[in-house]
Chain A
Amino acid sequence: MGVLIYLYLVPTLYLLFKIWKWVDEKRDKECYIIDYQGYKPTDDRMVSTEMSGGMVARNKNLGLNEYKFLLKAIVSSGIGEQTYAPRVMFSGGYENPTLQDEISEMDEFFQDTIEKLLSRSGISPAEIDILVVNISMFSAIPSLSARIINHYKMREDIKVFNLTAMGCSASVISVDVVQNIFKTYKNKIALIVTSESLSPNWYTGNDKSMILTNCLFRSGGCVILLSNKRSLKHRAMFKLKCLVRTHHGSRDDSFECCVQREDDQGRLGIHLDKNLPKAATRAFIDNLRVISPKILPIRELLRFALILFVRKIINNFQKRSDKSKAKAGINFRTGVEHFCIHTGGKAVIDGIGFSLDLSEADLEPARMTLHRFGNTSASSLWYVLAYMEAKKRLKKGDRVFMISFGAGFKCNSCLWEVVRDLDGNNGGNVWKDFIDSYPPENLANPFMEKYGWIQNEDDPTSFKLPDEYKHFV
């Protein structure tokens, strides 16, 4: 009898041990944002619309049509008077940027932000286990990740990844990398560094589709500290709930809509195709299709399914053939309280607002970010998040939905849950000095009248720049 008891005891104990280990493993896999720090460049790098127009005018290769198009783009872009440009724009070296310009632009960014973030959170660089750097167009050797490790003397066994060329959606991809690593390794701290390198990428030719990038992109960046350590959970700000990536590279028209190439004169620039908004919408719808079941409550999903069903039946009966741009019909506000939209441009924000049926209050953070900081590429999402935090909108339990687009064509989105009430007073918020002046009464560009005259010029051959603009050329 005794033997039998032992026979049962040993496997039972083993089973219990395995169950405990399994439960223990399931914990500590969550990805938390402990803190983040946006980059606010120094005020001597501010560029107004006038300056921006002037910089464009400096390009001697432009004719009237190009000039018209670009000024219109600048004025109606939704970008305000206080965005930031890289230092080469002011020193005049933007046509022949040196490697040193590129490196010092990045050095200025990360030395400022990482310093602030680490000192505020009390975490030393030697404690960082994972470093993910995503800067699309920086290509020096050694990589920026190695520069950061060298500057902060990080550990030898650090897991470092340097992602490039993934466009404006790269910070969500970095979060994806970190999230996957957190599921395998416990008790780790990760640092994501996201920004864009503008110095070496100023386009000097006259292809309209390529100069657009000169007008829209601005300097900015963000560093984010994440962890899955139990001991840091009480200090965490956000928890990652789900992340979905959609890649439409298999479609040729989506792939070709944002391509870096040489123009007819051999000058390098990024070509933005007219089909970009359509490709973006397609990718966005595909992405929503996958993520909606994960973030919306079942009641809403059932209601939507019912509406679709009813619509189909009605369409069958009435044989309507109008392809009117129907709204999605699905109410995202049942699952999401705040929307963090990539500030790709006014058209992007308007487009998303229309498809998701969002109110002005929902779109306000994105519009204000576009106005104050411009399109800072991958880091724009974090400026929008900082705005919401500064406006004290984020309460415990709220869910924030981040949407971003990238070249290729990708649409990546993720959902964060706010872990504790955030009052924006943690000292590092980029908006804290001027949040009270937002939103401003009038978002219209003050140079609308000044540059409006150009819409009336028609004859390219007799076009002469008025005297008051001569000082820019």
Chain B
Amino acid sequence: MPQVLPDFSNSVKLKYVKLGYRYLVNHILCLLLIPIMVAILVELLRLGPDEILSLWNSLHFDLVQILCSSFVIIFVSTVYFMSKPRTIYLVDYTCYKPPVTCRVPFSTFMEHSRLNLKNNPKSVEFQMRILERSGLGEETCLPPACHYIPPTPTMEASRGEAELVIFSAMDSLFNKTGLKPKDIDILIVNCSLFSPTPSLSAMVINKYKLRSNIKSFNLSGMGCSAGLISIDLARDILQVHPNSNAVVVSTEIITPNYYQGNERAMLLPNCLFRMGGAAILLSNRRSESWRAKYRLVHVVRTHKGADDKAFRCVFEEEDKEGKVGISLSKDLMSIAGEALKSNITTIGPLVLPASEQLLFLVTLIGRKIFNPKWKPYIPDFKEAFEHFCIHAGGRAVIDELQKNLQLSAEHVEASRMTLHRYGNTSSSSLWYELSYIEAKGRMKKGDRVWQIAFGSGFKCNSAVWKCNKSIKTPTDGPWIDCIDRYPVHIPEIVKL
């Protein structure tokens, strides 16, 4: 566990020293330029106007030379601009807002639970205790098939849920961005637990009559971090195909996976996972840069599958009665912490400002060479990012990350409120959180966002986005009708 630095920051003087140090190191190049310019100015003043004029005349400029030099300069600057790696823009995204009829307030959930598990009062009590401490609110939604007593997870119903979520999200994406279906060049759909034949990507292609030379991919089984894996794949493909649009659809289909047995560890996902989905439009066209909301800066993926404990952390298996469900191990939190640490060590050098990196390096060298008792310096990630989107996996995950990264309550507010309003919507939760930050009017041009997600396997993936233009308070989206009620205070335990 990382140790927290002792509280010097109370001392005001040191705080200013730290601020000054940061400013110095981050702007070192500009600061070096100042003395050089001063020296040139002093030199010019010393020479006097006559000498300057004769210096000017000695440079024989004739037409040919001027043309050549200007041609060379223009050519070189064109080459410089053309050879920059393609920027990937996030033009816009939409999140699915389930209808009110799908709501599952605590009372409904507990009633259904009592009826479905009537032979097992202990399991019902277990679910109640989980629900009390879960951090979920009264407005989360489950798909229609799960409202039946007992739930009816047929393939028809699963397809129905997929169509409802994915098509609604895509329709609103088309409306919002003015995108035409024929303009989509790349389509990536990720849904962990449901992959019918033909795939969900084929279903989308069929519904919207997309082009026949579309590059479509259907990822599944990759857990709650699959959204960022899809973004990674989209980025790799967009690097190779110029002037293309990519649509990424992230969702999780709950209907076929609603556990109907009695094993406690497997009832946990029932309490947390809820219906949701998001559709994202990415592009590498320069014409989109004026209206794109974000620019993709980095995607870092870490896979801890080599470690057996991490691998068994989220496991689908059959219980004693042969019913299939997902069991979550008790070590989930510590494994998540480990995976996060690996991810941070990769992403740190890419995003931290020079000042933080230098401090970290100096303390590292100091510990190794001089005195191992020096406290390790934990880089301050609040310096690198303005906003944090932590996958709303559950209250414990958000608490753990808040502690590890030393974030304030405001930083994790988006995650907590998304968990409260929408539950754990798996891979799409990051987009609901981003939407929350925008709805609160906190997103300004130049702000950097860090999205972190965990997944079965065990993976930790993160993406860094930079805000491309100041975003006005949205007039649509999943938060418009309730943003004024947020943030709410979520008590430790909600008495049921």
Contact = CB atoms under 8 A, between A and B. Distances in A.
Interface string A175-204: 011001101100000000000000000000
A255 interface: yes
Interface stretch (A7-15, A41-49, A224-232, A328-336): A7-15
A266 B154 CA distance: 8
Contacts of B459: 146
For the residues of B in contact with A, the DSSP-based class is mixed
B232 A159 contact: yes
A248 B177 CA distance: 25
A137 B197 CA distance: 8
A268 B79 CA distance: 58
Contacts of A244: 213
Given A141-B192, A167-B197, A248-B212, A150 B311 contact: yes
Interface in B206-225: 206, 208-223
Contacts, number: 223
B72 interface: yes
A472 to B, nearest CB: 27
A145 interface: yes
Contact of A149 (B206, B303, B342): B303
Interface in B297-312: 301-308, 311
A158 interface: yes
B425 interface: no
Given A14-B76, A180-B240, A146 B457 contact: yes
A143 B346 contact: no
B157 to A, nearest CB: 10
B324 interface: yes
Contacts of B193: 139, 141
A4 B197 contact: no
B197 A180 contact: no
Contacts of B270: none
Contacts of A142: 221, 223, 305, 311, 314-316, 456-457
B326 interface: yes
A308 to B, nearest CB: 21
Nearest to B202: A408
A1 B59 CA distance: 7
Interface string A444-463: 00000000000000000000
B220 A165 contact: yes
B488 interface: no
Given A15-B79, A149-B457, A259-B197, A249 B239 contact: no
| Size class of the contact patch on chain B | 35 or more
Given A154-B303, A156-B302, A262 B216 contact: no
A92 B34 CA distance: 83
Chain A contact surface mostly: mixed
B301 A163 contact: no
Given A150-B305, A183-B239, A255-B202, A144 B156 contact: no
Contact of B237 (A136, A139, A180, A250): A180
Contacts of A96: 322
Contacts of A150: 305-308, 311
A209 interface: no
A359 B214 CA distance: 33
A99 interface: yes
Nearest to B214: A247
23 contacts: A4-B69, A11-B76, A136-B197, A149-B303, A150-B311, A152-B306, A154-B306, A155-B306, A156-B302, A157-B302, A157-B303, A159-B301, A162-B221, A164-B220, A173-B217, A247-B210, A249-B202, A250-B208, A262-B156, A268-B155, A270-B197, A407-B197, A407-B202
Given A139-B193, A141-B193, A249-B210, 15 more contacts: A14-B76, A21-B83, A142-B221, A145-B222, A150-B306, A156-B303, A157-B346, A160-B222, A165-B220, A166-B201, A184-B240, A247-B211, A255-B206, A259-B198, A407-B202
